[in-house]
Each structure stands twice: as C-alpha cells, then as structure tokens.
Amino acid sequence: MKIFSTLRLTALTSVLLASQPLAAADRFADVNITTQQVTENVYMLQGAGGNIGVSSGTDGTLIIDDQFASLAGKIESALRELGGDRPRIVLNTHYHGDHTGGNAEFGRTGVIVAHNNVRARLLAQDELPPSALPLVTYTESVTIHFNGDELALIHLPQGHTDGDTMVWFKKANVLHMGDQLFNGALPYIDLPSGGSVDGYISNLRQVIRNMPSDIKVIPGHGPLADIAAVARSLQVIEDTRRIVVSGMEAGKDSAGIAEDLGDYADWGQGFISIDRWIGIIKADQAQRGALK
Ligand SMILES: [Zn+2]
C-alpha cells in the first residue's frame, strides 16, 4: 500500500514537472515591455529578466540580451515600434537564462555574438536548439560597426560568471554592463559558473577607471545608471564584504552578521536578499581559502 502511494506521488510529481514549461510561459503572460530612449538611436527595454540594450537605425536592429523565450514576440513588437525589425545581431552579455532565453527565436534569423564561455555553457544545456547558440565568439574583445557607431565588446573576467562582456557604444557614449551591475541592489555572483567577488570588484573598478565619467550605463537589472551608480555599487559591495568577513572572524552566525549590516539590508532585494548575499560572501571566502 505504501509503495502504491509512493508510486502515485511519483506519477503526480512527473505530471507537475512535465507541466512546468506551461507554467513558466504563464508566468510572463502579464509582462509588458517598456522602452526608454537613452540616446538618439540607443534604447533600453525592460520587461522580465535582464535589461535589453537596442541600437535601431539604417543598418537595422541590434539587441544586447533577450530576456525569456516566451517574451520574444513582445520584444519583437517593441523593436518594430522603434521602426526596426527582427534583430540582425544579438549580443549576449553572459549565458544566464534571463538574458539569453530569446536566443532560440532571434537566432533563427540573426547572428548571435558572445564570449567563448557563453557558447560553452549554453552547449552544456543539451535541451537548447542550435539557433540559441552564438555563431561568433571571442576571447578578449571584438568590435562591431553598426548604425554609425563603434561597439566595443570587452570581456570582464571572472566577476558575475566567467563569460561576461560589457558593450561600449563609443559614439553614443553608452555602456551596457550586463549583470556586472545591479543598479541599487546587491548583485548575484555565480560562483559555480566561474564568478568571484574579487573579480566582480576589480571589473567595477576597471569601468570607473577606464570609461568616460559622463557615460550612460545600462545595468543588467534596475533603472538606467551612470558612473556614480557604479561607484556606489562598488562601495556597497566592498563595505558589506568587510562587515561579513569580520563577523565571520568573530564567530557570529548569519543573523548576527545581518544585524551588523544595518541599513545595507535595504540593498537586499528580490532574488538577492541580504541572507543570500551573506551566503555568497561566505562561499566566496571558502573558495578563496581552498585556492590558497
Ligand atoms: Zn546573470
């Protein structure tokens, strides 16, 4: 009898698991794509998942990241409202599904460009169709000439993941940082995918050091940003890490450390709560220790 109910439970679980793609599609049914103009022909689209950068002009449409698969139709409509078409070129800032979910659809007619490690990590997800994979990959950087601008794709090593790229529109003076910037929130740092807190910090420093001080910044998540927002994010990450590490050294538990973080608790939002951030710092410290 017991075995029978276990079997029934297993069958029910299978049904639930099988229906998950449907549930995931419904999750985005009410999502609207909003468009914000950044410069003359550069835009930021927001819906669910990572912010999309758009270049729309005489050469056609180029997009940076493409959110979730089921939003592809709505994203395409938003691009058409800008006078554009389906994207000729799709850039992926990194491999996470909330930035590459639309690849399968847009890759049918456009060329996807990304860092080598994005292709490798997408290839490892064997359920993806070939159209979801980058056709052009690079190790350090590549330049794309489009709509009268020069787009420098620059690899940011081992920060958010091991395959992140920032996209610098040199003429428009706009930078898409992907998930190397969560504007106004604590970041997710994907340690199992080759990310590290040290790398994340040094990438933020690189942006502040090398980019024009008046550049407009499209973050992976959160509202349109600037260099001051990048500097603020760097300061919060460094401060909170220092507090968490000294709490760990004093033998405090997570609740005690959270107390020490005081007002920084407000930076724990959505996916990355303050507890999750403490967990990331702890795991990163353990990883650093293992490397020594
Ligand atoms: Zn990400």
pLDDT in tens, 125-145: 988 999 999 999 999 999 999
> In angstroms, what is the span from residue 86 Cα to ligand 1's centroid?
24
Per-residue pLDDT band for 201 (boundaries 50, 70, 90) equals very high
Assess whether pLDDT exceeds 60 at residue 7: no
Assess whether pLDDT exceeds 80 at residue 260: yes
Question: Which of 32, 36, 68 shows the shortest CA–CA distance to 54?
Answer: 36
36, 68, 180, 185 from 98: Cα distances, Å:
19, 5, 14, 17
Per-residue pLDDT band for 246 (boundaries 50, 70, 90) equals very high
What burial letters (b/e) apply to 129-159, b meaning 16+ CB within 10 Å? eeebbbeebeeeebebebbebebebbbbbbb
Sign of the Cα pseudo-torsion (198, 200, 201, 205, in order): positive
Can you give the pLDDT at residue 21? 52
Assess whether pLDDT exceeds 80 at residue 22: no
Can you give the pLDDT at residue 289? 83
Complete edge-to-edge strand list for the sheet that includes strand 52-57: 34-39, 42-46, 52-57, 60-64, 89-91, 111-115, 136-138
How far is residue 170's CA from residue 214's CA, in Å, rounded to a whole number? 12
The answer to whether the beta carbons of residues 160 and 190 sit under 8 Å apart is: yes
How far is residue 201's CA from residue 193's CA, in Å, rounded to a whole number? 17
> In angstroms, what is the span from residue 37 Cα to ligand 1's centroid?
23
> In angstroms, what is the span from residue 213 Cα to ligand 1's centroid?
25
> In angstroms, what is the span from residue 230 Cα to ligand 1's centroid?
17
Assess whether pLDDT exceeds 50 at residue 291: yes
Assess whether pLDDT exceeds 80 at residue 17: no
Query: Percent of the chain having pLDDT more than 70?
Result: 90
If you average pLDDT over residues 42-58, what whole number do you get? Answer: 97
For the chain, list the domains and their CATH numbers: 29-227 (3.60.15.10)
If you average pLDDT over residues 79-104, what whole number do you get? Answer: 97
Can you give the pLDDT at residue 24? 52
76, 160, 233 from 239: Cα distances, Å:
41, 18, 10
> In angstroms, what is the span from residue 139 Cα to ligand 1's centroid?
19
Per-residue pLDDT band for 290 (boundaries 50, 70, 90) equals confident
Can you give the pLDDT at residue 23? 53
> In angstroms, what is the span from residue 12 Cα to ligand 1's centroid?
32
